[in-house]
Amino acid sequence: MHGSLANNEALLRAVLAGLAGGSRAEVAVCVPTPYLAQVQALCAGGPLSWGAQDVSVHGSGPYTGEVSAAMLRDFDCRWVIVGHSERRQYHGETDETVARKAQQALACGLTPIVCVGETEAQRERGDTELVVKRQLAAVIQAVGHCVAEIVVAYEPVWAIGTGRTATPEQAQAVHAVLRAQLRAATPGERRVRILYGGSMNAANAAALLAQPDIDGGLIGSASLKADEFLRIIAATP
C-alpha cells in the first residue's frame, strides 16, 4: 500500500525511460486499485503491462468496497495478484478463497499471480513443502486445465519486508517442488512461470534468477526505487 499520483508518475516515467532500449524480461507493475487509471494512461502502448494487487471472489452484487475482475479488465489490466501472504495473514484469506479469486481472474481474461509460501514457524517444523503444495493444490483443483494460464509466486513469509532472503539454493529447492506439482497438473509441455518473491533486490537478483526453476521475481519494496528495479530487470539472464 504505497504510492501517490505524483510519486507514481515519477517512478513510472523513470522505469519507462530505463526500458526504452528494450529488455530481456517481461515487466509488469501491480498497483493499488485507485491508481489503475493513471497507470493505464502512462503505460498504454509501452513496454510495461499492469495489474492489480487483489480481486474479489464475486463477479458483482451487494459487496460494497469489493473490486471485481471485470472492473479490472475495464482498465486493461493483464495481471492480478491473489493470495499474497499479507492478504492471508491480515485478512484471513484461506486456500479456498485464493482459489476462487484465481477462478474469477481467469474467467475475465486476467492472469492470476498465485502466491504461496511458508511462515518461519512452518519452515522450522520442516513443513515448507507440505504448506506450499497444499496452497497450490487448492488452486489447481479449482481452475482445472486452466492451470497452464496462471503464474505462481513463491514468497517465503519470513523473507517478506524483513531484509532476509532465502538463499538461491533454498529458493530453488521450493521452486523445484512447485515445478513438479505443476508439471503433473499441466496438460502438454507448457511451462508455468514461477517467480521468487522474498525480498529480491539488486544485490541478490542475479544469483536467484540464475536458478533453473526461478523464472522471475515478484518485487516488493525494491520496485519503489526506479534505479534498483531497473537493475533487477537487467539481471535477467
Rounded to the nearest 10 degrees, the angle between the axes of helix 5-18 and helix 226-234 is 30
Q: At what angle do helices 168-185 and 128-143 cross, to 10 degrees?
A: 30
Which is the catalytic residue, given 66, 84, 86, 129? Answer: 84
CA distance 197 to 92: 20
Q: Are 162 and 119 in contact (CB under 8 A)?
A: no
129: annotated active-site residue: no
Distance CA 17, CA 15 (A): 5
Active site residue 155: yes
Point out the catalytic residue in the list 93, 118, 155, 175: 155
d(CA 186, CA 163): 34
Active site residues: 84, 155
